[in-house]
Structure 1
């Protein structure tokens, strides 16, 4: 399969993955939620949520399901973001 994204001139663009914590932070801020309340609803410590938001901790399947309940964004979406990030990091290490 070809997963290249092309610009208007037909040139391949390199798309970088981002840690899902960045998107989660945007969602929390956009919805004007308090981080401590989100952590409570997820059943995790605020420090653990902070580490996710900073990209220092991964989103596990359990947390992805809880995010699905809290934010109404599918667990698959969160896990796909996490997988894309993990693959990018692994490729960078392999080809460095």
Structure 2
């Protein structure tokens, strides 16, 4: 049988905890008070709005007879997932963009957020459809239009076909 951390990897531990409490017909407020936690703080954790601290996770695991460390691992996996999502949002899929388009700069040091106008202009002047699609996906049509309007470049269809 899979442990909780393996079964729910990447899901906030509060959501899993909420399911577990409902499954056992345990009310949140009395449970929170029984482990010495403020009901409001406990509710925020259950709703996924707050991280689950290790000390509280250990109390919960002990009280509910869950394998020690499962909730902590869930929180860690959830934090890793959030961090990966942040990284994906901060750069486009660079495997789809030819480095040669940026021959005059260090491609690995491009600031995709700060230099968005220059990057968008370059891709739409010299890039292929795949590169343009990726830039549209990453920046969105509004930011593309803003950058291209200020550049007075060739009119580009922002809804490229697959």
2:45 equivalent in structure 1: 52
Higher strand share: 1
Q: Please give the secondary structure, in 2, of the residue aligned with 1:75.
A: coil
Count of equivalent residues: 82
How far apart in 2 are the matches of 1:94 and 1:34? 38
How far apart in 2 are the matches of 1:81 and 1:39? 19
Structure with the larger RCO, 1 or 2 (CA within 8 Å, 6+ apart): 1
Could you tell me which runs of 5 or more consecutive residues in structure 1 were left unpaired when the two chains were aligned.
1-14
How far apart in 1 are the matches of 2:51 and 2:9? 17
Seen in structure 2, the aligned counterparts of structure 1 residues 16 and 92 have a Cα distance that, compared at 3 Å, is farther
**Structure 1 outlier segments of 4+, above 4 Å:** none
- Give CA-to-partner distance per residue, 1:37-67, whole Å, 9 cap, x none: 1101221111011100110111111001101
- Larger Rg: 1 or 2? 2
Q: In angstroms, what is the RMSD of aligned CA positions?
A: 1.5
| TM-score, normalised by the number of residues in structure 2 | 0.48
